[in-house]
Structure 1
Amino acid sequence: MCTYGEFNARVNCLAHALAALGLQRGDRVAILSENRREYLELAFAGAKLGLILCALNWRLTEEELAHCIRLTTPKVTLVSERFVGALSALEHGCHTIIELGADYEKRLAAQPVDEPDIAAQPEDGLVIIYTSGTTGLPKGALISHRAEIARLHVNCLDFDLDRTDAFVAWPPMFHMVSLDQSISLLTIGGKVVVVDGFDVARILDSVETERQWWLVLMPGMIDQVIRELRARTIRPKGIKLIGAMADLVPRAQIAEITQLLQASYANTFGSTETGIPPMSGGRIPIGEVPTDLSKSQNSLCEFRLVDAEDRDVPDGTPGELAFRGPTLFSGYWNAPEVNAKDFRGGWFHMGDMFVRRPDGRLDFVDRAKYLIKSGGENIYPAEIERVLLADHRVADAVVVRSRDEKWGEVPVAFVARRDEGLTADDLVELCRRHLAGYKRPKDIRFVAFNALPRSTTGKIQRHEVERWLAQEHA
Structure 2
Amino acid sequence: MTTPPDAAIPAPPAMATAGVTIGHLALQGLARRRDRPAFVQDGRAWSRAAIADAILSMARALRTLGLRPGEGVSALVANRPEAFVLRTAAQLVGCRYTALNLMAGPEDLAHILQDAEIRLLAHDPDQAGRAHAAAEAAGCPLVLSLGGGEGRRRDLLEAAAHESADPFPPLAREFDLGQLSFTGGTTGRPKGVMLPHRSLVQCAMMMLAEYDWPAAPRMLLATPMSHAAGSMVVPTLLKGGTVHVLSRFEPERFIEAVERDGANCAFGVPTMIRALLAAPGLGRARMRSMETFIYGASPIAPATLLEAMERIGPCFMQLYGQTEAPNTICCLRRADHDPARPDLLSSCGLPMAGVSVRLLDEAGNDVPEGEPGELCVQGRLVMDGYWKRPAETAEALRGGWLHTGDVARRDADGYLHIVDRRKDMIISGGFNVYPREVEDALATHPEVAASAVIGVPDAHWGEAVAAFVVPRAGCAPSPEALAEHVAARKGKVQAPKRVVFVDALPTTPVGKVDKKALRAPHWGEGRQVG
TM-score, structure 1 as length reference:
0.91
Q: Could you list the structure 1 runs, at least 4 aligned residues long, displaced by more than 6 angstroms after superposition.
A: 286-289
Q: Are positions 1:17 and 2:68 aligned together? A: no
Q: Counterpart in 2 of 1:462? A: 515
Amino acid aligned to 1:437 = K
What CA deviation, in whole Å up to 9, does each residue of 1:297-343 have, x standing for no partner?
21111111112232222223221111112222222222222111101
CA distance in 1, matches of 2:328, 2:429: 20
Q: Counterpart in 2 of 1:56? A: 100
Q: Counterpart in 2 of 1:29? A: 73
CA distance in 1, matches of 2:419, 2:279: 34
Q: Which of the numbers 404, 425, 434 marks the counterpart of 2:489?
A: 434
Residue 140 of structure 1: how far off its partner (Å): 1.8
Q: Counterpart in 2 of 1:372? A: 426
Residue 231 of structure 1: how far off its partner (Å): 5.1
What CA deviation, in whole Å up to 9, does each residue of 1:350-380 have, x standing for no partner?
0011122233222222100022111111112
| Superposition map of 1:290-369 within 5 A | 290-292=342-344, 293-294=346-347, 295-369=349-423
Amino acid aligned to 2:490 = L
Q: Counterpart in 2 of 1:125? A: 177
Q: Are positions 1:95 and 2:146 aligned together? A: no
Residue 391 of structure 1: how far off its partner (Å): 4.5
CA distance in 2, matches of 1:186, 1:382: 40
**Distance change in 2, residues 1:162/1:42 (3 Å):** farther
Q: Are positions 1:149 and 2:193 aligned together? A: no
CA distance in 1, matches of 2:176, 2:239: 21
Moved more, 361-370 or 264-273: 264-273
Q: CA RMSD in A?
A: 2.6
Q: Counterpart in 2 of 1:241? A: 292
What CA deviation, in whole Å up to 9, does each residue of 1:12-42 have, x standing for no partner?
1100100111111111111111011111101
CA distance in 1, matches of 2:366, 2:67: 46
CA distance in 2, matches of 1:287, 1:11: 45
CA distance in 2, matches of 1:416, 1:233: 48
TM-score, structure 2 as length reference:
0.82
Amino acid aligned to 1:17 = A
Q: Partner of 1:239: helix, strand, or coil?
A: coil
What CA deviation, in whole Å up to 9, does each residue of 1:262-311 have, x standing for no partner?
33322332112212222223445376793431232211111111122322
CA distance in 1, matches of 2:207, 2:107: 36
Moved more, 86-95 or 233-242: 233-242
User: 5+ residue gaps in structure 1?
Assistant: none
Residue 384 of structure 1: how far off its partner (Å): 1.1
Q: Partner of 2:200: helix, strand, or coil?
A: helix
Contact residue 210 and residue 238 of structure 1 kept, 8 A: no
Q: Counterpart in 2 of 1:46? A: 90
| Superposition map of 1:153-302 within 5 A | 153-161=205-213, 164-175=216-227, 177-210=228-261, 212=263, 214-228=265-279, 230=281, 234-236=285-287, 238-245=289-296, 248-283=299-334, 284-285=336-337, 290-292=342-344, 293-294=346-347, 295-302=349-356
CA distance in 1, matches of 2:290, 2:384: 33
Amino acid aligned to 1:364 = I
Q: Counterpart in 1 of 2:151? A: none
Contact residue 158 and residue 281 of structure 1 kept, 8 A: no
What CA deviation, in whole Å up to 9, does each residue of 1:404-440 have, x standing for no partner?
1111110111123442314235533431322211211
Q: Partner of 1:220: helix, strand, or coil?
A: helix
Q: Partner of 2:68: helix, strand, or coil?
A: coil
Q: Partner of 1:410: helix, strand, or coil?
A: strand
Q: Partner of 1:280: helix, strand, or coil?
A: strand
**Distance change in 2, residues 1:163/1:130 (3 Å):** farther
CA distance in 2, matches of 1:21, 1:441: 42
Residue 250 of structure 1: how far off its partner (Å): 4.0
Residue 235 of structure 1: how far off its partner (Å): 4.5
**Number of aligned positions between the proteins:** 470
Residue 133 of structure 1: how far off its partner (Å): 1.9
